[in-house]
Structure 1
Amino acid sequence: MSAPQTRVITFGTYDLFHIGHLNILKRAAALGNHLIVGVSTDALNFSKKGLKPVFPQHERLAIVEALRCVNEAFYEESLELKAEYIKHYKADVLVMGDDWAGRFDQFKSLCDVVYLPRTEGISTTDIKQGLAIPAKV
């Protein structure tokens, strides 16, 4: 008899894919045996941050889908649909970075909620700020 499947879901933008992204996805995958990843759409990112990602959603989704630790990936179109995504994908565990600690506790009635530590010293926002070219005066 096979062991029951534990389905883990997580969400992110995954722009300028870096080791921090890979680390959290691998650690999320280790919490179960089926990892589902919601990749935020360009429109969702713009509505959250007022900025479009550097790489378009189809490229970011393709990168995430290509990872060995990821079993399924889909477009996250709305923050308000997280509960629906959890139900649709029959997730047993929701994983988010610890910078979101406590902000997804309302989903504990649907699944376990785990906040994993981020990789120290790396952040897409910091990378983008470091790449910013100052305007000529």
Structure 2
Amino acid sequence: MGDRLVVGISSDQLNFSKKGRNPVYPLRSRMNILHAIKYVDQVFVEESLDLKREYIIEHQADILVMGDDWTGKFEEFRDICEVKYLRRTPSISTTEIIEVIKDI
């Protein structure tokens, strides 16, 4: 979809505010995982959903890509970038990871 990939990763506090629980992996671990992916050019921490517009502008994003569980929630940004929603990968979610861990 583009020539560079910049990934915003939710801070632990933002994750807690959205989901009511802490992430399975702490921020530093999640950032290390993303940095290890050769297609990722840059990773930054998202502290607030209210700052999404500022993040898009700061990182000069032409396209905002979100999982389809967010469909329709970011249409307000179509004035500054294209907004795409991708189908989520089945069985790849924190909830499913937690279930697998509980069964071990």
1:28-54: per-residue Cα shift (whole Å, max 9, x none)?
Answer: xxx001100011111111111121112
Structure 1 position 96, deviation (Å): 0.5
| Counterpart Cα distance in 2 of 1:121 and 1:128 | 11
Identity %: 51
Aligned residue number for residue 32 of structure 2: 62
Greater Cα shift, 119-128 or 87-96: 119-128
Correspondent of 2:73 among 103, 108, 128? 103
Give the whole-Å Cα distance in 2 for the aligned partners of 1:120 and 1:66: 22
Point out which structure has higher relative CO (alpha carbons under 8 A, 6+ apart): 1
Task: Report what 2:50 is aligned to.
Answer: 80
Is 1:53 aligned to residue 27 of structure 2? Answer: no
Contact 2:24 2:94 in 1 (8 A): no
**Which segments of 5 or more consecutive residues in structure 1 lack a partner in the other structure?**
1-30
Between the two proteins, the alignment pairs up a number of residues equal to 103
* One of 43, 62, 66 as aligned partner of 1:92: 62
* Runs of 4+ more than 2 Å apart: 120-124, 129-133
Aligned partner (choices 41, 45, 50) of residue 71 of structure 1: 41
Matched ranges for 1:6-21 at <5 A: none
* Largest Rg, 1 or 2: 1
